[in-house]
């Protein structure tokens, strides 16, 4: 693949990179917000071309296959809808004086650099380049979490940076170990870092090195996924950063680290004498689910509550991929898509709700369906979806995960269902007070675009009612690749 030749795969990199340069120079908020939306839309359209155009051959640095196309299309779609939500949300922050025009130039430029970093991680055919891309995406979100420059925001950004640095250091060490295992077989240099060559020769790699490597990789990238007990940065980052970044963190950035884990899982599984990656992933996934389910009852901040919900659902996804097999992998892939769409939609609602009420405290938010029906009912549908009620998409994916687990490990299935029920009770308990009853706090109208939120919820509803046969066949193929 010639990296200089323009194609959809280079387009999803060049468009956000070029837009970031322009956005760093534009002084006008309205113009920069529109350019941010336009660039995100153009990147999404370019990603869609990957579905219909002939895929380029894997090169030294870039790779396009069935697995990463799912992540790229989902990433660019949620990136686009979040940019639309961000335009109205950040405009309100500018009017209230929480952000300055200089902050906004920085914010929009960092948004596109973040999109560039995530897309680069997905299309990298080089384990070192992928590590760099994940780190770039992480650093941009660290800077955006602290954009309000308050004590709490800076503390959250600093915690995110420190824990993220520890995680990425573990991931780097694991990456180096994989390179060391590959070097005697495929030679030095780029060949020992290319996914395509690593998979072909994995059977000849030193299994002891691969075993140690996967432990460090799972801990390192697991920190980015938000798995317990490596999750401590996530609730603070959600609570103190701008809400569009909360939507991106839960809907996108966690998936980037998950993608890295899945790539290495495929690699380790290709070595018959290496450790089975599944039990480690099942253990961390189930621990995260149960831990986060109990923690939901103790949250008093609405954004922190949904941050722990993200930890819960990433635990379910990692659990599903750890169980492996065609059905569990299919369920994990579907759950990842449905969670990204649902959780970002919830944060679109929460962002405007917090602006109206002037607070994120759950006790100060009441009766939203009466005071602000558009936002209130959007939040109700989102919480019903994320709680796993039918006929929405997460119900379908959770049903498949539970069914697959019952067929193979009934005891694990009992623990899985227990965690799901505990989280279900916490979410409905909180929803009752926030959405219904006597309104509390400001009832002023809000200028907001409901299109991003309801478009996501419509897709989640469609995913629970009907999945097109081509999509099912595509996901089934990917499930087989994952082993």
Q: Which residues, in sequence order, are CB contacts of 481 under 8 Å at separation 6+?
A: 66, 67, 266
Residue 267 CA to residue 446 CA, distance in Å, equals 50
**pLDDT value of position 3:** 44
**pLDDT value of position 4:** 41
- Give whole-number Cα distances, 329 to 323, 324, 343, 479, in Å: 8, 5, 21, 5
**pLDDT value of position 339:** 93
Q: Which residues, in sequence order, are CB contacts of 188 under 8 Å at separation 6+?
A: none
Range scoring the smallest mean pLDDT among 128-132, 176-180, 369-373, 406-410? 369-373
Q: Residue 194: beta bridge partners?
A: 126
Check if the beta carbon of residue 223 is closer than 8 Å to that of residue 262: no
Q: Which residues, in sequence order, are CB contacts of 461 under 8 Å at separation 6+?
A: 385, 391, 392, 393
Range scoring the smallest mean pLDDT among 17-21, 106-110, 329-333? 106-110
Average of per-residue pLDDT across 240-249:
84
Average of per-residue pLDDT across 141-150:
84
pLDDT in tens, 458-467: 999 998 888 8
**pLDDT value of position 413:** 92
Higher per-residue confidence, 258 vs 373: 258
Asked, as a colleague might, if the bond just before 323 is cis with ω within 30 of 0, I would say no
Average of per-residue pLDDT across 211-233:
88
**pLDDT value of position 129:** 92
Average of per-residue pLDDT across 392-405:
92
Handedness of CA 178, 180, 181, 186 (dihedral sign): positive
Task: Check whether 1 has a pLDDT greater than 50.
Answer: no
**pLDDT value of position 365:** 83
Query: Percentage of the chain with pLDDT > 90?
Result: 39
Q: Write down the H helix ranges in 202-301.
A: 207-225, 233-240, 243-248, 254-269, 277-295
Give the model's confidence band at 6: pLDDT under 50 very low, under 70 low, under 90 confident, else very high: low
pLDDT in tens, 22-40: 988 887 777 888 899 999 9
Higher per-residue confidence, 330 vs 61: 330
- Give whole-number Cα distances, 255 to 24, 250, 291, in Å: 27, 8, 20
**pLDDT value of position 45:** 94
- Average model confidence (pLDDT) for the chain? 87
């Amino acid at each position: 693949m010639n990296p200089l030749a323009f194609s959809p795969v280079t387009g999803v990199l060049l468009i956000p990179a070029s837009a970031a340069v322009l956005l760093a120079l534009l002084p006008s908020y309205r113009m920069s917000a529109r350019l941010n939306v336009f660039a995100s839309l153009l990147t999404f359209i370019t990603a869609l071309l990957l579905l219909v155009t002939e895929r380029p051959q894997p090169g030294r640095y870039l790779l396009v296959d069935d697995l990463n196309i799912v992540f790229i299309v989902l990433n660019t779609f949620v990136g686009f809808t979040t940019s639309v939500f961000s335009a109205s949300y950040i405009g309100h922050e500018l009017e209230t004086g929480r952000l300055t025009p200089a902050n906004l130039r920085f914010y929009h430029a960092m948004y596109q650099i973040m999109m560039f970093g995530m897309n680069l991680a997905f299309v990298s055919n080089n384990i070192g380049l992928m590590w760099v891309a994940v780190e770039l995406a992480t650093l941009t979100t660290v800077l955006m979490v602290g954009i309000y420059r308050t004590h709490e925001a800076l503390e959250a950004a600093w915690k995110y940076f420190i824990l993220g640095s520890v995680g990425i250091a573990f991931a780097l060490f694991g990456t180096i170990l994989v390179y060391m295992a590959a070097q005697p077989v495929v030679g030095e240099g780029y060949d020992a870092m290319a996914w395509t060559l690593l998979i072909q020769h994995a059977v000849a790699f030193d299994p002891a090195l691969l075993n140690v490597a996967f432990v460090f990789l799972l801990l390192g990238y697991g920190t980015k996924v938000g798995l317990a007990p490596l999750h401590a940065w996530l609730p603070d980052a959600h609570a103190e950063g701008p809400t569009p970044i909360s939507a991106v963190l839960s809907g996108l950035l966690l998936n980037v680290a998950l993608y890295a884990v899945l790539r290495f899982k495929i690699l380790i599984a290709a070595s018959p004498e290496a450790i089975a990656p599944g039990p480690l992933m099942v253990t961390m996934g189930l621990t995260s689910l149960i831990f986060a389910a109990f923690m939901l009852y103790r949250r008093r901040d609405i954004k922190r509550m949904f941050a722990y919900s993200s930890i819960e659902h990433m635990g379910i996804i990692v659990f599903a991929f750890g169980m492996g097999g065609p059905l569990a992998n299919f369920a994990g892939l579907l759950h990842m898509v449905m969670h990204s769409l649902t959780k970002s939609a919830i944060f679109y609602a929460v962002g405007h709700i917090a602006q109206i009420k002037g607070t994120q405290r759950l006790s100060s938010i009441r009766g939203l369906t009466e005071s602000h029906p558009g936002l209130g009912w959007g939040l109700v549908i989102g919480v019903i979806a994320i709680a796993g009620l039918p006929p929405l998409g997460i119900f379908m994916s959770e049903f498949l995960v539970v069914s697959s687990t019952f067929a193979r490990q009934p005891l694990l299935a009992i623990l899985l269902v227990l965690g799901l029920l505990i989280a279900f009770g916490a979410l409905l308990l909180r929803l009752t007070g926030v959405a219904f009853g006597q309104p509390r706090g400001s009832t002023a109208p809000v200028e907001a675009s409901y299109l991003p939120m309801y478009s996501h919820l419509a897709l989640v509803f469609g995913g629970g009612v009907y999945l097109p046969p081509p999509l099912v066949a595509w996901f089934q193929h990917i499930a087989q690749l994952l082993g």
